[in-house]
């Protein structure tokens, strides 16, 4: 993309192609007199407010506006001959912006949405909607994406360039997982990506809490937050995930991996449905417009692992959220997104109410490309854990027999409880990959977890604290330089005294 001026104000357009507002049906206005207009063309109204042509008829156009108030019957609008774009650049890092690139003040007071500012200032701009790159520009996903959450890394591994749907009922920990993944990528990565967080139609208090969390953790300097509140225009809210993806494409084109977190697309679909109904489009299933699948597909297809002209690869990893109702995976938007993405992680409310965190239902979660990114050791561990969990579930089903259980079944039940405790992890605690591997090996060997003074949660916390020392990092890295589980366990036995001490002292 080439640089250009920020969009001009209403009085700066010399075009005589001016239309008059004849009807206001917020967030849509009907404008008469706009000749030679095209779909998605930007319209500038009086007071320098922006709109976008949503649909065209013989002599009128429905224009989607991105602000509340000021427009009324008789207001004037002028065609610009341009499509929507937003300013991009490294100066966006650390910023909280709206989908049009306007910075939002920290306390979200006195903000102006859709107002044209900075007239004449040269900036680079990227369009909000572009055609996804074709198959010839894409590469196989080969690099793993470490989340720092043991259950995800062992059972539902992710890859850089993957599109993995996070779904579940409200308040089951989906957004918390996104925050943890962002933290893991920015703190446990030698070459951290740029993280783009899109908060779609959130409460203002939630946006403020997100910003404060990332600032407190020291992550915001490597992030861009694109946010809209539920008080904003549905037209502006609809643009939020597209703006996030455009920013990701800018960093991709400049040789930087990106991680895009879309929170969430169920809210996005509801606001898009509101726009479509007000535009009197024919409603489909659950009153959603017929192009809702296409809308989300063309958004998510912009993510992936891409070849560059330099011969290397750059990825845009996308983790969209979707909301289920009472654990129903057959909802319209849910199944649409499951069909577009490369797998999903399902948060189960029943597991959540049992007090387990993260409340992920592993058997109902899928990763289609994540396992191909694992090394030989991680594949070996993942295979062993999955096989054991099947045995553990079978043992649980017959555990009511009590005294009649065999010794082998009893041992499976005991180890199953320890593995469950290992996967039960605070979102605030991020495990480096080598520490994750070593901790699991110690549990599998029954070297930790039996002493009530040092439960697995305490051992995990101590190991993470001690991991800050370089000699500990070297030790754990050396243990993991093997290709199968048996060799890992042999290495752990050789260093068991030192490893147990690391787990029992902070």
Q: Provide, for the chain, the percentages of residues in helix, strand and coil under a 3-state DSSP scheme, each rounded to the nearest 5.
A: 40, 25, 35
Q: Could you tell me the pLDDT band of residue 10, with boundaries at 50, 70 and 90?
A: low
C-alpha closest to that of 385 among 157, 159, 147, 155 = 155
The residue annotated as part of the active site, out of 368, 383, 446, 453, is 368
Q: What is the C-alpha separation between 393 and 500, in angstroms, rounded?
A: 29
Is-same-fold flag (125-373; 378-504)? no
Q: Could you tell me the pLDDT band of residue 229, with boundaries at 50, 70 and 90?
A: very high
Clarify whether 280 is annotated catalytic.
no
Q: For the chain, which residues make up each domain, given as ranges?
A: 3-83, 125-373, 378-504
State pLDDT tens for residues 455-467.
999 999 999 999 9
State pLDDT tens for residues 107-148.
443 344 344 433 334 578 999 999 999 999 999 999 999 999
Asked if residue 249 lies in contact with residue 316, where contact means CB atoms within 8 angstroms, the answer is yes
Name which residue leads in pLDDT, 130 or 69.
130
Asked if residue 65 lies in contact with residue 233, where contact means CB atoms within 8 angstroms, the answer is yes
State pLDDT tens for residues 385-407.
999 999 999 999 888 776 678 88
Altogether, the residues listed in the chain come to a count of 506
Please classify residue 470 by burial: count the beta carbons closer than 10 Å to its beta carbon, then call 0-12 exposed, 13-18 middle and 19+ buried.
exposed
Q: Could you tell me where the DSSP H helices lie in 6-105?
A: none
Q: What is the C-alpha separation between 220 and 225, in angstroms, rounded?
A: 8
378-504: CATH class: mainly alpha
Q: What is the C-alpha separation between 220 and 222, in angstroms, rounded?
A: 5
pLDDT cut 90: percent of the chain above it: 80
Q: Which CATH architecture has domain 3-83?
A: Beta Barrel (2.40)
- Taking residue 121's Cβ as centre, other Cβ atoms within 10 Å add up to 9
Tell me what pLDDT residue 15 has.
Answer: 61
Tell me what pLDDT residue 35 has.
Answer: 87
State pLDDT tens for residues 410-422.
999 999 999 999 9
What are the helix and strand counts (H, E) for the chain?
A: 15, 20
Asked if residue 233 lies in contact with residue 240, where contact means CB atoms within 8 angstroms, the answer is no
β-bridge mates for residue 19, sequence order: 77
CATH fold of the domain at 125-373: Rossmann fold (3.40.50)
């Amino acid at each position: 993309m080439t640089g250009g001026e920020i969009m001009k104000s209403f009085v700066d357009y010399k075009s005589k192609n001016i239309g008059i507002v004849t009807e206001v049906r917020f967030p849509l206005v009907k404008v008469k007199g706009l000749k030679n207009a095209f779909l998605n063309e930007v319209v500038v109204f009086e007071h320098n407010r922006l709109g976008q042509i949503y649909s065209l008829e013989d002599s009128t156009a429905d224009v989607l506006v991105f602000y509340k108030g000021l427009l009324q019957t008789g207001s004037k609008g002028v065609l610009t001959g341009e499509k929507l774009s937003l300013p991009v650049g490294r100066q966006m890092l650390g910023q909280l912006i709206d989908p049009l690139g306007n910075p939002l003040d920290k306390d979200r007071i006195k903000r102006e949405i859709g107002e044209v500012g900075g007239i004449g200032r040269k900036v680079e701009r990227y369009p909000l909607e572009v055609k996804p790159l074709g198959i010839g520009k894409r590469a196989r996903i080969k690099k793993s994406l470490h989340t720092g959450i043991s259950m995800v890394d062992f059972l539902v591994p992710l890859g850089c360039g993957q599109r993995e749907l996070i779904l579940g009922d409200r308040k089951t920990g989906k957004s918390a997982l996104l925050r943890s993944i962002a933290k893991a990528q920015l703190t446990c990565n030698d070459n951290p990506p740029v993280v783009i967080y899109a908060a779609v139609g959130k409460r203002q208090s939630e946006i403020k809490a997100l910003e404060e969390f990332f600032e407190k953790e020291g992550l915001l300097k490597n992030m861009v937050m694109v946010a809209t509140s539920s008080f904003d225009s549905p037209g502006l809210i609809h643009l939020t995930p597209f703006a996030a993806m455009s920013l990701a494409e800018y960093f991709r084109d400049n040789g930087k991996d990106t991680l895009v977190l879309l929170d969430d697309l169920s809210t996005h679909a509801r606001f898009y449905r509101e726009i479509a109904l007000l535009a009197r489009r024919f409603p489909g299933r659950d009153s959603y417009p017929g192009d809702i699948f296409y809308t989300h597909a063309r958004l998510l297809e912009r993510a992936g692992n891409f070849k560059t002209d330099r011969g290397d690869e750059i990825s845009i990893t996308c983790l969209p959220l979707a909301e289920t109702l009472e654990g129903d995976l057959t909802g319209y938007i849910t199944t649409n997104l499951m069909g577009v993405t490369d797998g999903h992680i399902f948060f189960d409310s029943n597991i959540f109410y049992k007090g387990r965190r993260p409340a992920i239902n592993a058997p109902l979660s899928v990763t289609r490309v994540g396992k191909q990114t694992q090394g030989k050791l991680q594949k070996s561990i993942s295979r062993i854990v999955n096989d054991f969990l099947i045995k553990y579930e079978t043992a649980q089903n017959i555990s009511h027999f009590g005294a009649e259980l065999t010794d082998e079944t009893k041992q499976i039940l005991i180890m199953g409880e320890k593995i469950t405790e290992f996967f039960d992890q605070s979102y605030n605690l991020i495990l480096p990959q080598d520490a994750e591997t070593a901790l699991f090996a110690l549990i599998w060997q029954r070297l930790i977890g039996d002493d009530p003074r040092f439960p697995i949660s305490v051992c995990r916390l101590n190991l993470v604290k001690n991991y800050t020392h370089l000699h500990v990092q070297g030790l754990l890295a050396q243990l993991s330089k093997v290709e199968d589980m048996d060799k890992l366990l042999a290495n752990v036995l050789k260093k068991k005294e030192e490893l147990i001490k690391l787990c029992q002292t902070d």
